[in-house]
Amino acid sequence: MKRIKINGVIIPNDYQEIYDWIGWDATSPKKVSEQIEDGKDLIIEINSGGGSVFAGSEIYTMLKNHNGNVTVQIVGLAASAASVIAMAGDKVQMSPTAQIMIHNATMDTYGDYREKQHSSEMLKNINRSIINAYKLKSGMTDDELQEMMDKETWFTAQRALQHKLIDEIMFQNEYQPAA
């Protein structure tokens, strides 16, 4: 089984060399793609605050298209674009100490009212797109998910399991009460 770490900021391919040179954790679609072996089962270990929704979407799609089994393990944080990537797992596990965060897409804009209106529509479309990943995993409705994204919702492992964003909490079966 091949283990791939998704740490740091989710970035476009063109930024990876710069982040690597500086020594900052970052994950690009190309970095993930280079580690995937065709047909081999994968463990995707996530600890990321997110980043580019489009790079995250590319990684999500790459993992969903993979012809081996994909197990996602959220070991620290899967926020924003990283939470979208987490939804790609055939099985999603979460450390009892980890968190998932979902929220509306954001961006900076410059311009007059027309540019701001255009940006608003673009952000609404991005939200509808990323809702699809959460909905496919959890079965929740668009309205339920949009409401959670509007509130910037944080999930403990237990809450994520209740909302079916994950399949199991890691180490849960390891507890052995003493007699």
Positions annotated as catalytic residues are 80, 103
Residue 45: partners with Cβ closer than 8 Å, 6 or more residues away? 3, 4, 5, 6, 73, 75
Rounded to 5°, the CA angle 27-9-107 comes to 125
* Beta-carbon count within 10 A of 22 CB: 8
What is the β-pairing status of strands 42-51 and 70-79?
parallel
Burial 143-158 (b: 16+ CB within 10 A, else e): eebbebbeeebebebe
